[in-house]
């Protein structure tokens, strides 16, 4: 089949499209003549920007009134598909609400899903999605078989968002119908744990700490170093699971994907789960006492040493710079 | 309070993964163990049943080769019984087929108040199976739980969000997925390990559950090519001599970061 109509599961933050939404739109418009965005919210002030990145139509459910998007948005999507607008492919972001919505829709349509992808293409084998495995050293190309819509999720930063200067899209209301008991999960309060300074997935410098720090109190070194470098502090899954820092700090497959100019891994051995989230960094510095640590295999500068000695000296050196 | 936990038995993550040369599927022919991500769900279920003061924890699992060692680990932790769906045709099943199989297995267990699963498995990590399962069972769901309690028939969850967490609630019956670290999984006691040997595991086939087609035949996807990714070159690796912080400063200066 030929890809002619792609939908993008879109998300807004403070009324504007998220970077991930614009990345997916950019890729979608390179493959299909018709690209629609499906929002599980009001359109807010996002319409113009979505048009500039290539959307010709925007479906919007309106405010979900605290309902989790998985059940609600998949149901609204199914209604539009049943109404006759059948996309060839639907792009989802590999994040909480993207995953939930994709999974629910998969059952409603009886279609398989491909997740964790970094690319998609059309070839003689059909529509092919590319997934990195084994920490990214191997790429698997998987073809969809059977009929569309094909459901595919992409990791953040798989594509570079570029505006095409498109016209404002047509906005179409796609209300959520009665969901019954399945739709009963409601958000009753929201809490923000983000630290001050640049956002982890947008920072130019990221300094992450791992088990090698030894204890939770030593994480303050990571915060100090990040602050001095105008960067964001991050963490390996090991110390997030241990409760040293909140989940929002986690870099890796199940956390944030970062591609900063400089990534500094402090006391992180480099588990596959972590490397997947940071190996796209332009420059990597690693400090670890174990010279066999896998992180040294991808580091541009590796220091085999005790983080408790190297980092305080580094902090002092940076502070004493003119 | 009857809780079902979906558990996956996976190759030991400490051993390097490999792909089958013909099917390109992940090799799962060695000894399988309980996926560490599922230990959290088992522990959570045991704690919720203890708090409720009644009910039991059941397990459902799917494996092509009759493997039960991971199930025995969860039984040793304190689960009461398990259903294993196993037959050779299941190899190659996608997440949607797996959800259909587990939904049928859970239905066999009768009245269930809560279904718990990990957010994603450690070996395949498609990450959609639990939510697909909820849809098939017609259940409300709350994913990515980092804190869970049940009060007066309402499941109250702190759900991870991009920048913190949301408090989300829904009535039982429901499905939740739990993140790593949500609770500290207990180590099975010697008594628990001995008791687990006699706890019931019912083994059924996909055909017994009336689910066809499964495996490769039931998955609308096909791996067409596996290629090596471009390797990142390792750079300069030095031993700290007490002055290596200077190297880092020079490196950062060179990049105009400072």
Locus of tokens 């923000």: A192
Query: Taking the mean position of all CA atoms in its chain, how far away is CA B44?
Result: 13
Q: Which residue has the tokens 């399945």?
A: A182
B257 domain-assigned: no
Residue A188 lies in a domain: no
As a whole number of angstroms, the distance between CA A182 and CA A180 comes to 5
The mean pLDDT value for B215-243 works out to 89
In a shared domain, residues A91 and A136: yes
pLDDT of residue A194: 65
Looking up residue A47, the CATH number of its domain turns out to be 3.40.50.620
d(CA B176, CA B157): 9
Is residue A120 in some structural domain?
Answer: yes
Token duo for residue B116: 């718990």
CB contact under 8 A, B240 and A306: yes
In a domain? residue B9: yes
Task: Check whether B17 has a pLDDT greater than 80.
Answer: no
Identify which has the larger pLDDT, B39 or B22: B39
Chain B residues with CB inside 8 Å of A309's CB? 240, 242
A177/A210 same-domain check? no
Residues A217 and A115 in one domain: no
B21: pLDDT strictly greater than 90: no
CA dihedral B57, B60, B63, B68 (to 10 degrees): 30
Beta strands in A62-173, from DSSP E residues, in sequence order? 89-93, 113-117, 119-123, 126-133, 138-144, 150-154, 170-173
Report residue A212 as tokens: 């090698």
Average pLDDT over residues B159-185: 93
Residue B115 contacts residue B142 (beta carbons within 8 Å): no
- CA closest to A137 among chain B residues: B229
Calpha distance A75→A183 (Å, rounded): 10
Q: Which residue of B has its CA nearest to A316?
A: B245
pLDDT value of residue B64? 82
Query: Is it the case that residue B253 has pLDDT exceeding 80?
Result: yes
**Residue B39 is assigned to a structural domain of this protein:** yes
What distance in Å separates the CA atoms of residue A170 and residue A55, rounded to the nearest whole number? 9
Report the distance separating Cα A137 and Cα B18, nearest Å: 12
Q: Is residue A193 part of a domain?
A: no
Tell me if chain B has a CB within 8 Å of the CB of A178.
Answer: no
Best residue of A92, A112, A309 to probe chain B, by most B CBs closer than 10 Å? A112
Does residue A291 belong to the interface with chain B, where contact is any CB pair within 8 Å? yes
Are the Cβ atoms of A301 and B160 closer than 8 angstroms?
no
For residue B76, the enclosing domain spans 3-218
Q: Which residues of A touch B142 (CB under 8 A)?
A: 68, 185
Mutate to test the interface with B, among A19, A97, A107, A229 (most CBs of B within 10 A): A107
Domain assignment present for residue A209? The answer is yes
- Please tell me whether residues A108 and A229 are part of one structural domain: no
* H helices present in chain A, as ranges: 19-31, 47-52, 69-82, 96-109, 219-228, 237-241, 272-278, 307-319
- pLDDT > 90 in chain B, percent: 73
Residue A148 lies in a domain: yes
Question: Is the residue at B223 inside a domain?
Answer: no
* Within a domain: A198: no
Query: Is the Cβ of A121 closer than 8 Å to some Cβ of chain B?
Result: no
Do the domain assignments include residue B34? yes
b/e for A70-88, b at 16 or more Cβ within 10 A?
bbbbbbbbbbbbeeebebb
Contacts of B257 in chain A (CB under 8 A): 204-205, 229, 261-262
If one counts the domains in chain A, the total is 2
- What's the CATH number where B124 sits? 3.40.50.620
How high is the pLDDT of residue A254? 80
Q: Does A243 touch chain B (CB under 8 A)?
A: yes
Residues of chain B with C-beta less than 8 angstroms from the C-beta of A243? 181
**A255 token code pair:** 């956390």
Q: Average pLDDT of chain B?
A: 93
Instruction: Pick the closest to residue B76 from B202, B203, B199, B201 (CA basis).
Output: B199
Query: Confidence class of residue B182 from pLDDT cuts 50, 70 and 90?
Result: confident
**Window 295-314 of A, Cβ < 8 Å to B:** 296-306, 309-311, 313-314
Please give the angle made by the CA atoms of A195, A196 and A198, to the nearest 5 degrees. Answer: 100
**C-alpha span between A127 and A1 (Å, rounded):** 8
In a shared domain, residues A177 and A281:
no
Interface contact A144-B168, CB threshold 8 A? no
What pLDDT band is residue B31 in, cutting at 50, 70 and 90?
confident
Identify whether residues A212 and A170 lie together within a single domain: no
User: Collapsing DSSP states into helix, strand and coil, what is residue A266?
Assistant: strand
Is residue B167 assigned to a domain?
Answer: yes
pLDDT at A283: 95
- Tell me the average confidence (pLDDT) per consecutive run of 10 residues in chain A, 322 residues long: 91 95 98 97 94 97 96 98 97 96 98 96 92 83 93 95 94 96 96 83 95 96 96 95 90 90 96 89 96 93 97 96 80
Q: Do A192 and B246 touch (CB under 8 A)?
A: no
Averaged over B28-48, what is the pLDDT? 91
Cβ separation A261–B257 shorter than 8 A = yes
Global confidence as pTM: 0.90
CB B80 within 8 A of CB B57: yes
Are A46 and A117 found together in one domain?
yes
Looking at the fold, whether A130 and A253 belong to one and the same domain comes out as no
> HSE (CB half, 13 Å, CA atoms) of A244?
26
What is the pLDDT, as a whole number, of residue A1? 60
On whether any CB of chain B is under 8 Å from the CB of A319, the answer is no
Handedness of CA A13, A106, B176, A210 (dihedral sign): negative
Of B170, B225, B231, the CB nearest to A186: B170
Contacts of B167 in chain A (CB under 8 A): 187-191
Domain contains B228 = no
**Which residues in chain B have their CB less than 8 angstroms from residue A276's CB?**
none
Which residues form the domain of A214? 205-319
* Overall domain count for chain B: 1
Residues A145 and A236 in one domain: no
Q: Can you name the residues that pair with B117 across neighbouring β-strands?
A: B177
- One domain for residues A40 and A145: yes
**For residue B37, is it within any domain?**
yes
Q: Check pLDDT > 90 for residue B241.
A: yes
Q: Name the residue in chain B with its Cα closest to that of A109.
A: B96
**Residue A205 is nearest to which of B128, B167, B257, comparing CB atoms?**
B257
CATH number at residue A234: 3.40.50.1220
Q: Which of A114, A186, A247 sits opposite B169 (nearest CB)?
A: A186
Write down which residue in A148, A183, A218 finishes a domain: A183
The answer to whether B234 contacts A302, with C-beta atoms less than 8 Å apart, is yes
Identify whether residues A122 and A271 lie together within a single domain: no
**Same structural domain, A16 and A149:** yes
Query: pLDDT by residue (tens digit) across B66-122?
Result: 889 999 999 999 999 999 999 999 999 999 999 999 999 999 999 999 999 999 888
């Amino acid at each position: 089949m030929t890809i002619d109509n792609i939908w993008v599961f879109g998300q807004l933050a403070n009324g504007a499209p998220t970077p991930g939404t614009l990345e997916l739109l950019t890729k979608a418009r390179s493959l299909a003549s018709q690209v629609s965005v499906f929002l599980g919210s009001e359109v807010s002030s996002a319409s113009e920007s979505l048009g500039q990145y290539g959307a010709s139509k925007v479906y919007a459910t309106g405010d979900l009134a605290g309902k989790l998007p998985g059940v609600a948005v998949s149901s609204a999507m199914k209604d539009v598909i049943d109404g006759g607008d059948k996309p060839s492919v639907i792009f989802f972001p590999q994040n909480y609400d993207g995953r939930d919505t994709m999974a629910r829709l998969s059952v409603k349509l009886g279609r398989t899903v491909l997740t964790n992808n970094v690319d998609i293409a059309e070839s003689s084998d059909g529509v092919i999605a590319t997934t990195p495995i084994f920490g990214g050293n191997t790429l698997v190309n998987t073809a969809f078989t059977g009929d569309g819509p094909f459901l595919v999720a992409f990791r953040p930063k798989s594509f570079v968002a570029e505006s095409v200067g498109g016209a404002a899209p047509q906005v179409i209301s796609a209300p959520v119908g009665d969901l019954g008991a399945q739709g009963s999960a409601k958000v009753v309060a929201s809490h923000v744990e983000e630290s001050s300074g640049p956002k982890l997935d947008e920072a130019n410098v990221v300094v992450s700490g791992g088990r090698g720090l030894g204890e939770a109190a030593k994480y303050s070194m990571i915060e100090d170093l990040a602050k001095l470098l105008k960067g964001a502090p991050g963490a390996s899954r090991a110390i997030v699971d241990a409760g040293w820092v909140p989940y929002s700090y986690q870099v890796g497959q199940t956390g944030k994907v970062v591609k900063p100019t400089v990534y500094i891994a402090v006391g992180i051995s480099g588990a596959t789960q972590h490397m997947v989230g940071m190996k796209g960094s332009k420059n990597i510095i690693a400090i670890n006492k174990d010279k066999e640590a896998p992180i040294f295999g991808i580091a541009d500068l590796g220091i085999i040493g005790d983080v408790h000695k190297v980092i305080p000296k580094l902090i002092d050196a940076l502070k004493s710079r003119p | 309070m009857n809780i079902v936990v979906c558990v996956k038995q996976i190759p030991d993550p400490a051993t390097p993964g490999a792909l089958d040369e013909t099917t390109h599927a992940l090799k799962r022919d060695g000894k399988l163990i309980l996926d560490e991500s599922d230990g959290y769900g088992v522990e959570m279920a045991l704690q919720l049943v203890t708090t409720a003061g009644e009910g039991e924890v059941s397990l459902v699992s799917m494996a092509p080769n009759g493997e039960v060692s991971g199930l025995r680990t969860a039984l040793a932790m304190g689960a009461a019984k398990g259903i294993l769906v196993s037959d050779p045709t299941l190899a190659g099943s996608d997440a949607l087929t797996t959800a259909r199989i587990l939904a049928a297995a859970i239905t066999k267990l009768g009245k269930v108040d809560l279904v718990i699963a990990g957010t994603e498995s450690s070996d395949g990590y498609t990450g959609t199976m639990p939510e697909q399962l909820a849809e098939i069972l017609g259940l409300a769901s709350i994913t990515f739980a980092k804190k869970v309690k049940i009060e007066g028939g309402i499941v109250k969850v702190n759900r991870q969000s991009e920048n913190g967490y949301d408090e989300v609630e829904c009535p039982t019956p429901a499905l939740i997925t739990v993140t790593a670290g949500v609770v500290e999984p207990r180590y099975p006691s010697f008594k628990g390990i001995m008791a687990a040997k006699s706890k019931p595991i019912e083994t059924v086939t996909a055909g017994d559950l009336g689910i066809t087609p499964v495996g490769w035949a039931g998955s609308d996807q096909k791996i067409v090519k596996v290629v090596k990714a471009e390797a990142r070159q390792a750079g300069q690796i030095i031993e700290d001599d007490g002055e290596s912080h200077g190297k880092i400063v020079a490196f950062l200066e060179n990049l105009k970061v400072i």
